[in-house]
Amino acid sequence: MHFRITIPSLADGKKDEAVSYVKENVFPEFDGVPGLMSMTAAITGETSGVNMATWESKEAADAVADKIQAALAGAASFMSGPPTIYEGAPVFGKIYQTIEKDSQRPSYLRLVVGVAKDTDAVLNFLKEKVEPIYEEADGIQLAGAIFDGNNAISWNFWDSKEAMDAAVVKLEAELDSAEEEALFESATAYMGPVYAGKIFANISGKSIAGAITDTIQLDKATGEPLTYRKSWREN
């Protein structure tokens, strides 16, 4: 599995144009691309957003590099500068709800980009301090993280902003200023509603009394099943 996360810098007053471009041009253009598992787009401010694509592999993403560059070029007119792009294999994460192919459920994104002083320490923090909060949280859909060099990018999707806010209170209690300074040179959070999303595979992981089943079944467009353990870092 491979994630590609694009954080665009939107020009003032161009948010609506950017949203229309992604929904009307980018998503239809990538529908049916081999190896593409999901696409998600969220607005996180008047001049910022987050676009995320999940691929079966880095090779699948690299195979359509020209198509990706063409999509970025088409967005140049409403950008204030080049986007920031992170990509990598998942080092942490879990799917907490069944997500069916072509589902259109409401979702709220929180994504944090931190410049890590020690990626191993960050990963331990995610496992030991963050994951237990997610396990007990109401309304969490999925969570994940990648490292791109010394950049640590973690994300979580929620049923609503209220569900996210309730968990953030607990997360901030665990990551106080001293802990944050020990882990990161700097960190930036992006939060906002998902305005476009496309699931190209059935992602299932039934929740029973707050627990997740041991496997997640991913049925690709070909109908061939792929099985992943409940925690991406175990794959």
pLDDT at 203 over 70: no
Helices (H) and strands (E) in the chain, counts: 8, 14
Tokens of 83: 């986007």
151-158 and 2-10 strand pairing: unpaired
Contacts of 13 (CB under 8 A, 6+ apart): none
| Structural domain count of the chain | 1
DSSP assignments along 160-228, one per residue: -HHHHHHHHHHHHHHS-HHHHHHHEEEEEEEEEEEEEEEE-SEEE--EETTEE-SEEEEE-TTS-EEEE
> How many Cα atoms within 13 Å fall on the side-chain side of residue 154?
21
Could you read off the pLDDT of 109-141 as tens digits, one per residue?
999 999 999 999 999 999 999 999 999 999 999
Enclosing domain of residue 114? 2-234
Say which DSSP state 103 is in: -
**Confidence (pLDDT) at 213:** 33
**Tell me: the pLDDT tens digits for 90-114?**
999 988 887 766 666 789 999 999 9
Is residue 216 scored above 70 in pLDDT?
Answer: no
What are the two backbone dihedrals, phi and then psi, of residue 47, each rounded to the nearest 5 degrees? -130, 20
| CATH at residue 183 | 3.30.70.100
